[in-house]
Structure 1
Amino acid sequence: MAARSSAPDKGPGFFSQIRTLYTFTQKEFRWLPFLLVGILLLGIAVGVGIGFLIPPVAVWSVILWGVTGLMLGVLASMMTMTRLSTRAMYKKIDGMPGATGHVMSTSLGRKWQASEMPVGINPKTQEAVYRAVGRGGVVIVGEGARGRLTRLVNDERSKVQRVASGVPVTVLYIGHGEGETPISKLAPTIKSLPTKIDRATMAAVIKRIESVSQSLTSLPIPKGIDPTKVRAPRPR
């Protein structure tokens, strides 16, 4: 009997990730190939132009600057594709139940703590409320029809204010209507909130809120989004 290998499974290689990223983004932006080729050609042109402008002009110098321009073009292409892949991801998940939790759990950075699971949910309509705690205070985000979210949002706000008196509470609603926040702008909006509490107070608030929060383990994540499949792949 052949011995089983104890070596861990290797993840996708760098070029495999690049290919996956490109395929994901190109499905949303059909003109992506032309844009990337244009950036590469522009980089080469700029490099060659610098080679001719800097004396003494020599073939090896022009070639060297051309290669340098190509490398800069590759870097610019990667940065452009990464940015477009993020836009493609937001377009794909916009309006999907659970998208808010996905964004809040992956895009807020270390200064904020949030969970992919909602802190309040209506199982019949899939309206859900999410919460983030950070240096800017407490943020409550409603996902779904705004009119049906009133009770869930008010319940969560009352609970937070009861255990964290004096800590600012910001309420956001996901959507494209007046006074609502598009899913693509959710993370920037939260991270732009001014600092209101220090790290010690933030830790204390998190502990207090968690101590009074009801267990939601029996409540499933709203169906309609699989974050592992929707997240735009990024090259390492």
Structure 2
Amino acid sequence: MSNPAAPPKGRLAQLRQAYTITKQNDRNIGLILLLTFLIGAGVTAILGVLVLGTGLFGTIITVVFSILIGILALLAVFGRRAEKAAYAQVEGQPGAAAGALQMMKRGWNVKPAAGFTKNQDVMHRVIGRPGIVLVGEGNGSRVRSLLAAERKKHVRIVGDSVPVHEVVVGRGDGEVPLPKLVKHLRKMPKSVKPAEQTAIINKLKALDAMRPTAPMPRGPVPTSMKGARRAMRG
């Protein structure tokens, strides 16, 4: 028997799922995509006529390139709006930040739920070129207390030479909205060399070994987001 909860296989199935998710949060997505295709193809067609003329060869090249550019423009717009819709669908749910962070691959080490409170406020740890980034989600005041305590633990182990940053996910003052979280981390100043990241990870293994398992659900972002991005890349 097939698993109904399993993500769809195949590019077309992933595109259909991404479109369905996007349609729930963006009712005008169909019209927007149609206009994007028409504008992209139309502008290309005009340029093609001006450059290549209206002869048979020029017309064929213009039509082919107009369709290709229209499709590329459509997919670019769809990818951005699908990502925005996926974030909107899960923002505020437990584990959403962990799901977004796990989209970060090369050059980043992500440990979801590295710390937590009994009220299910969670701290995720990211190690990358900026150093150590402690990302908290949950109640604002409790999360800040959790991050402050975790910062002290990490500084004791890695020392003052490694920057330890604190980021709270949310819509409040001084917080980073979930859709901007990954971009925010990638724009942080680079203070640690790639070779030093492995040493930092090894040092923190002792701290992680003393922690209990975090009772939190898996982030809901990866399934929808990865499916959409995989379909966009082809």
Q: Give the TM-score band, short-chain normalised.
A: 0.7 to 0.9
Larger radius of gyration: 1
CA distance in 2, matches of 1:51, 1:150: 57
Which one has the bigger helix percentage?
2
Matched, 1:178 2:180: no
Q: How does 1:1-236 map to 2 (within 5 A)?
A: 12-54=9-51, 56-106=53-103, 108-115=104-111, 117-123=112-118, 125-165=119-159, 166-216=161-211, 218-222=213-217, 225-227=219-221, 229-231=223-225, 233-234=227-228, 235=231, 236=234
Question: Cα deviation per residue 1:68-93 (whole Å; 9 max; x = unaligned)?
Answer: 11111011101111111111111111
* Contact 2:115/2:214, CA 8 A, preserved across alignment: no
Check 1:29–1:57 CA distance in 2 against 1; reply closer, same or farther (3 A cut): same
Q: C-alpha root-mean-square deviation of aligned residues, in Å?
A: 2.1
Amino acid at match of 2:183: P
CA distance in 1, matches of 2:191, 2:162: 8
* Contact 1:40/1:77, CA 8 A, preserved across alignment: yes
| Percent sequence identity over aligned pairs | 27
Amino acid at match of 1:175: G
Choose between structure 1 and 2 for higher RCO, CA contacts under 8 A separated by at least 6 residues.
Answer: 2
TM-score, L = length of structure 1 = 0.85
Q: Secondary structure at 2:113's aligned position in 1?
A: coil
Q: Secondary structure at 1:49's aligned position in 2?
A: helix
Amino acid at match of 1:181: V
Could you tell me which runs of 5 or more consecutive residues in structure 1 were left unpaired when the two chains were aligned: 1-10
* Contact 1:92/1:230, CA 8 A, preserved across alignment: no
**2:4 alignment counterpart:** none
Residue correspondences, number: 222
TM-score, L = length of structure 2 = 0.86
Could you tell me which runs of 5 or more consecutive residues in structure 2 were left unpaired when the two chains were aligned: 1-7
* Contact 1:140/1:171, CA 8 A, preserved across alignment: yes
Check 1:66–1:178 CA distance in 2 against 1; reply closer, same or farther (3 A cut): same
